[in-house]
Amino acid sequence: MPVSRDDFLGIMSAFPTGVAIVTTLEPDGTPRGLTTNAVTSVSADPPILLVCVDRNSRTLPALTARKRFVVNFMRDDHEEICRLFASKADDKFAHVAWTPGRDGVPVLHEGAIAHAECETLDELVIGDHVVVTGLVVDGDAPAESDLPIVYFKRGYTSAPTPDAL
Ligand SMILES: Cc1cc2nc3c(=O)[nH]c(=O)nc-3n(C[C@H](O)[C@H](O)[C@H](O)COP(=O)(O)O)c2cc1C
């Protein structure tokens, strides 16, 4: 027998992650997005990452239809935006500064320290999530002084500065 959902989430809470807001567009151009931490680098050459999206996510149908998405890696002092995009609010994009990236998909400037613009390669249903792999076709890296927000033990915290490691 597998452990319960709660026990599983408790176990995984031991693993600190960054937080990324994944954005995409509805077929009619409406922006959609959600807060994620199930984001992983898969391959360096070619550059491929993956994101795991809940099958109940309201962003997922747009992501699946558009086959383009942006992974916006969030800054340490922007917990509020992470919380907003972890909600079911209809007007998430009314509260953040964004510009259309390649293919028009929203790139968040406020609150993001880096982003990766992706073309979907594969979608694989595993349990209650869909694993979406994306070829990274554009993006930018964080500046020297930028620090990411960290999710750990079901709460947000700041990353230690590299000097403190
Ligand atoms: C720190 C954090 C990380 C999360 N990571 C994921 C994730 O990797 N995949 C996912 O589908 N949902 C994740 N969620 C939950 C979604 O953000 C949440 O279900 C959201 O309401 C989905 O929005 P949508 O239905 O508008 O797409 C996470 C939530 C938090 C607070």
Per-position pLDDT tens, the chain of length 165? 999 999 999 999 999 999 999 999 999 999 999 999 999 999 999 999 999 999 999 999 999 999 999 999 999 999 999 999 999 999 999 999 999 999 999 999 889 999 999 999 999 999 999 999 999 999 999 999 999 999 999 999 988 777 655
d(CA 82, CA 110): 12
Amino acid (one-letter) located at 103: D
The domain limits of the chain are 5-164
d(CA 50, CA 118): 10
User: What single-letter DSSP state applies at residue 143?
Assistant: P
Q: Peptide bond before 160: cis, by omega within 30 degrees of 0?
A: no
Which residue, 141, 160, 142, is CA-closest to 150?
160
pLDDT of residue 160: 78
pLDDT in tens, 76-90: 999 999 999 999 999
The pTM of the whole model exceeds 0.85: yes
Question: Ligand 1 centroid to 163 CA: how many Å?
Answer: 31
pLDDT of residue 164: 56
Give the burial class of 86: count Cβ atoms within 10 A of its Cβ; 0-12 exposed, 13-18 middle, 19 or more buried.
middle
d(CA 116, CA 81): 18
The residue whose CA is least distant from atom 7 of ligand 1 is 36
Q: Which CATH superfamily is domain 5-164 in?
A: Electron Transport, Fmn-binding Protein; Chain A (2.30.110.10)
| Nearest-atom index, ligand 1, CA of 59 | 27
For ligand 1, is residue 55 a contact (CB within 6 Å)? no
For ligand 1, is residue 159 a contact (CB within 6 Å)? no
